[in-house]
Structure 1
Amino acid sequence: MIKAILFDLDGTLLDRETSLKQFISTQYNRLPALHHISQDSYVSRFIELDCHGYVWKDKVYQSLVSEFSIETLNWQDLLQDYEKEFLHYCIPFSNLYSTLSTLKTKQYLLGIVTNGLGTFQRRTIQGLGIENYFETILISEVEGVRKPDPEIFHRALHKLGVTPEQSVFVGDHPTVDVLGAKNIGMKAIWKRDRHWAEPVKVDAIVEDLSMLPEIIQMFNNS
């Protein structure tokens, strides 16, 4: 019987690609020091350097400052602006709130296990306005361990008081999320992402978060 559902954050609950494009476009518009660059060039190069969130933003901004010869702002200024302002551009995937509400109504325990920096990820969750749906939130920097290490999954399950067999993980990364969860005995649901190849070992695939309650009910009926 499934009792708990754990989620990744970026690319699963947060539509990170859309959020990032909106933030970067607005950052460009707000900062005249960038206007010797075309907006399209600035946005597209940021996204390329960001590598779907797997490159730290200090490295991204250092590269941008160097490549585009940005002179009146340094990379620390741009990074600080990102850390301060990004939460205002956090866009959820469709049906996020209704799905979380449905799962809570059905008495499932909910949690987030995300890689990333503690303060920034908590601000992202705040930007989405979803913190009150979750019984536990684990962030890799705070925990000192990153997915797909089994330890961070086990810590989350321990906090919820459930076993791997009573739990489902929902995430977009085939290795970090799906395989990481499967390796400790959890069921895994892949939130389809065009950037990643379909996982080999997965219990279900969702195109939209609204599919989750029915799939989890099917797990319980099987």
Structure 2
Amino acid sequence: MIKAVVFDLDGTLLNREDSLKLFVEDQHDRINALKKIDKQTYIQRFIDLDDHGYVWKDKVYDQLIKEYQLSITVDELLEDYINSFQLHCIGFPGLMEMLTALKNRGLKLAIISNGYGSFQYNNIQALEIENFFDHIVISEWEGINKPDSKIFLNTLKKLGVKENEAVYVGDHPENDVIASRSVGMKALWKESNLYDVPSENDGVIYNLLDVNKIITNL
């Protein structure tokens, strides 16, 4: 019997791709030093360098400054990113309805996210979903990154559930699906145009509202 559902954040609950585009466009509009670059060129180059969030922004901004000889520092741009990204966070459709339905079933909920603690937590708050979760686990604060099994096992211990009583939902085939299944959890893959369907999964999520339906049959 499933007693808990644990979620990834970026690409699963948070539509990071669309959120990032909104932020980068707004940053270009607000910061004069960036207007040296055509807006669409800046947006696309930023997205390319960002590599779906796997390159921290100090390196992204350092490269942009060098390529376009910008009269602004990495620290200035990075501070703006840290403070302003949260203002552009968009959740995937059905987010609130899905979380409400799961809580109404009496299930325990958690997030496990790789990333910087305060930055990721600010994004969760921006989505106005933090109160749905019994535990929010972020790799910087935990000292462990996915796909390390310890981050999953530690979270289940906090929730007070066994591995076979929990489902993990995430978009990354290895860090989310394979890693959570390796510790004995069920794993649902959130469809993503960035990755192929993982060979091992317990269901595919095309819409967040599918989560409640699928776990009923697990």
TM range (shorter): over 0.9
Per-residue deviation, 1:131? 0.4
- Alignment match, 2:7: 7
Per-residue deviation, 1:116? 0.1
Residue type matched to 2:28 in 1? Answer: Y
1:90-101 mapped onto 2 (5 Å cutoff): 90-101=89-100
CA distance in 2, matches of 1:216, 1:153: 19
- Alignment match, 2:197: 198
- What secondary structure does 1:62 align onto? helix
- Alignment match, 2:117: 118
- Alignment match, 2:47: 47
CA distance in 2, matches of 1:36, 1:149: 43
Per-residue deviation, 1:159? 0.3
- Alignment match, 2:181: 182
- What secondary structure does 1:169 align onto? strand
Residue type matched to 2:107 in 1? Answer: Y
Measured against aligned partners, the alpha-carbon deviations of 1:39-90 in whole angstroms (never above 9, x if no partner) come to 011000110011001111111111111111101x111100000000111100
- Alignment match, 2:102: 103
- Alignment match, 1:157: 156
CA distance in 1, matches of 2:37, 2:109: 44
CA distance in 1, matches of 2:184, 2:57: 34
Where structure 1 has 5 or more consecutive residues not aligned to the other structure, the ranges are: none
Per-residue deviation, 1:16? 0.2
CA distance in 1, matches of 2:6, 2:174: 16
CA distance in 2, matches of 1:218, 1:11: 24
Measured against aligned partners, the alpha-carbon deviations of 1:87-135 in whole angstroms (never above 9, x if no partner) come to 1100000000010000000111000000000010011101111000000
Could you list the runs of 4 or more consecutive aligned residues of structure 1 that deviate by over 6 angstroms after TM superposition?
none
CA distance in 2, matches of 1:163, 1:47: 39
- Alignment match, 2:129: 130
Q: Confirm whether residue 70 of structure 1 aligns to residue 70 of structure 2.
A: yes
CA distance in 2, matches of 1:68, 1:151: 42
- Alignment match, 1:27: 27
- What secondary structure does 1:107 align onto? coil
CA distance in 2, matches of 1:99, 1:206: 12
Residue type matched to 1:75 in 2? Answer: V
Q: Confirm whether residue 173 of structure 1 aligns to residue 187 of structure 2.
A: no
Per-residue deviation, 1:32? 1.1
Where structure 2 has 5 or more consecutive residues not aligned to the other structure, the ranges are: none
Identity %: 47
CA distance in 1, matches of 2:164, 2:54: 30
